[in-house]
Amino acid sequence: MQQSLIIIKPSGVERGLIGKIIDRFQQKGLIIAGLKMMRLDEGLLREHYAHLVDKPFFPSLLRSMMASPVIVMCLKGKDAIAVIRGMVGATNSRNAAPGTIRGDYGMSSQENIIHASDSEENGIIETNRFFRPEEIFDYIPGNIGYIYSPDERD
Ligand code: UDP
Ligand code: MG
């Protein structure tokens, strides 16, 4: 199984969408391996958004991500990276398809509700960046046999 680091950004927290977003992932059959609320600081965000630090919008993105506490989650599932990115939708919420989280709840590129890891490697790196090892729980939900066939559970 793959793992993905999810952040419900201040735009999702402040707009009261925490429950709706978690519900979507649970209904899909993704496994919640870790979940907590935290405040992000500039050092962590400079690491997490290292590919964007030179962009003109970076100072605004920093302020936006520190505007309130966020929810961070580690979700696990088969092909979880692609499945979750599909559920999240395009970066600019105005271009995100209806039915996706950004497409249903957002109107902005910056204030786009949620982050999700973009590769299997980043799913691991980002989970380790936001969670201590003891905050990630390796368990098999009791309903797993109704979510996957036996040969899909690797
Ligand atoms: N972002 C922005 N303006 C842009 C592009 C990105 O404010 O023109 C913000 C937006 O919040 C986005 C984040 O920077 O989610 C990270 O950008 P990335 O290209 O990694 O998009 P994502 O992977 O979140 O879809
Ligand atoms: Mg990204």
Q: Which element (helix H / strand E) includes 62?
A: helix 58-65
Q: Which residue's alpha carbon is at the smallest distance from atom 14 of ligand 1?
A: 110
d(CA 110, ligand 1 centre) in Å: 6
- Give the model's pLDDT for residue 89: 98
- 39-72 confidence digits (pLDDT tens): 999 999 999 999 999 999 999 999 999 999 999 9
CA distances from 55 to 52, 59, 75, 147 (A): 5, 9, 29, 41
Q: Is the Cβ atom of 68 under 6 angstroms away from ligand 1? A: no
What residues does 8 pair with on adjacent strands?
71, 114
Q: Is the Cβ atom of 112 under 6 angstroms away from ligand 1? A: yes
- Give the model's pLDDT for residue 118: 98
The residue ranges of the chain whose pLDDT is under 70 are none
Active site annotation includes 51:
no
Label residue 18 exposed, middle or buried (CB < 10 Å: 0-12, 13-18, 19+): middle
* CA torsion through residues 108, 86, 25, 117, sign: negative
Q: Which element (helix H / strand E) includes 37?
A: strand 31-38
Domains of the chain: 2-141 (3.30.70.141)
Rounded to two decimals, the pTM is: 0.98
